[in-house]
Amino acid sequence: MTNKSSIAVAAVMVAAWLSSASVATAQQKITLRFADSLPHGHVIHELAGKPFMELVTKATNGQVTFQHFPSEQLGKAKDMAQLTTAGVADIAYVVPSYSSDKYPLTAVSELPGIFQTQCQGSLAFYKLSHNGGILETKEFLPNGLRPLVTIALPAYQILLSNPRPIAKAADLEGLKIRTAGGAMDLMMRSIKGVPVRMAAPEIYESMTRGTLDGVVLSYQSTLSYDLGKLLKSGTSGMNFGTALITYSIGETKWKSLPENVRKALAEAGEQTTREGCKRFEEGERVAGEKVQSQGMKVINFSDADNKGFASAFASVADSWAKDTDKRGKPGTEVLKAFTAALAATK
């Protein structure tokens, strides 16, 4: 056999080996560690996390399965982003506002009154955080994180465990109300409440002790954290902002996965975003009725108060953008992009 023939045979053998190795990699069984801070049965997991996992397993014909770690088993809610990029979790429930120092731009989706429906907000954020969008390139990937599912939770209401009668907006002044950070802190200060930042699992005990007067939260989450029985009064049909939640994967883990698995994760993420936001919208309506049936009185503000809220919310958006610009981040650019994306999703 000539030298050239030997080289040709060797090349064919190497190509065949590489091909078989590629097939083996694409077909190998993969178990992903899926972590969250949510209690067992929480509505967010039931309507988004669980369906996402099921879609991925089905799309890969069982090649990918998940080991679920709920209730902060792998770490605290505020640390989920860091734990995911570090590889402690492969995919995790990450609330960017819990790490607002590293994810300040995502707060654009949490500005009060900025979108009309939950799906409108969810899909606009998805657009900006995928396929080269400004939030993907300026925020998530620089932090080593890749969002798969992005859902804006239902418009938050002010829900109070303090028995103080609330007849007008001024009655909220001085109340200590839990926020998730970011733009929600600005909103609370704009209506003269006192924002108290804490992770959701800590709310119940703080309310019970009276160290917290209330929360800015969705009705569905109040049921998941068993807060309904503590509530004395609350708003309905208002928009005091929200929280943007994601199920995200570390970029290092993402790059290590076979192409077919990355494709399944991406497609399941988009489908869960589109379908999950609709499930949340209906669930919020039902949850609101249930909480009110437990004795919570609905606060009805006057038209003058509502106009005051609208003015305060517009001021919050402007202040947020300018303050973010001053920190060297493109706040004004992101606000403009998000507003455009919202208009395109109506």
CA distance 278 to 239: 17
Show the beta-strand stretches assigned E in the chain.
30-35, 64-69, 91-94, 145-152, 157-160, 176-179, 194-197, 214-217, 233-234, 244-250, 297-298
- What SS3 state is found at 196? strand
CA distance 74 to 35: 7
Closest CA to 191 of 345, 48, 301: 301
Annotate 242-274 with b (16+ C-beta within 10 A) or e (fewer): bbbbbbbbbbebbeebbebbeebbbebbbebbe
Contact of 160 with 231, CB cutoff 8 Å? yes
pLDDT tens digits for range 9-57 = 333 443 444 443 444 356 799 999 999 999 888 889 999 999 999 999 9
Contact of 70 with 39, CB cutoff 8 Å? yes
CA distance 200 to 267: 29
The amino acid occupying position 233 is S
* Domains in the chain with CATH codes: 30-99+120-151+244-284 (3.40.190.170), 157-242+292-344 (3.40.190.170)
Q: Measured in Å, how far apart are the chain's first and last C-alpha atoms?
A: 70
CA distance 278 to 121: 12
- What SS3 state is found at 133? coil
pLDDT in tens, the chain (346 residues): 544 444 343 334 434 444 434 443 567 999 999 999 998 888 899 999 999 999 999 999 999 999 999 999 999 999 999 999 999 999 999 999 889 899 999 999 989 999 988 999 999 999 999 999 999 999 999 999 999 999 998 999 999 999 999 999 999 999 999 997 777 888 999 999 999 998 888 999 999 999 999 999 999 889 888 999 999 999 998 989 888 999 999 999 999 999 999 999 999 999 999 999 999 999 999 999 999 999 999 999 999 999 999 999 999 999 999 999 999 999 999 999 999 999 998 6
CA distance 160 to 117: 24
Whole-Å CA distances, 196 to 59, 189, 214: 42, 11, 10
Would you give the distance in Å from CA 129 to the centre of its chain? Answer: 12
Contact of 122 with 47, CB cutoff 8 Å? no
CA distance 68 to 341: 33
Q: What's the CA dihedral at 41, 45, 51, 57 to 10 degrees?
A: -90
Beta bridge partners, 247, equal 93, 149
- What SS3 state is found at 47? helix
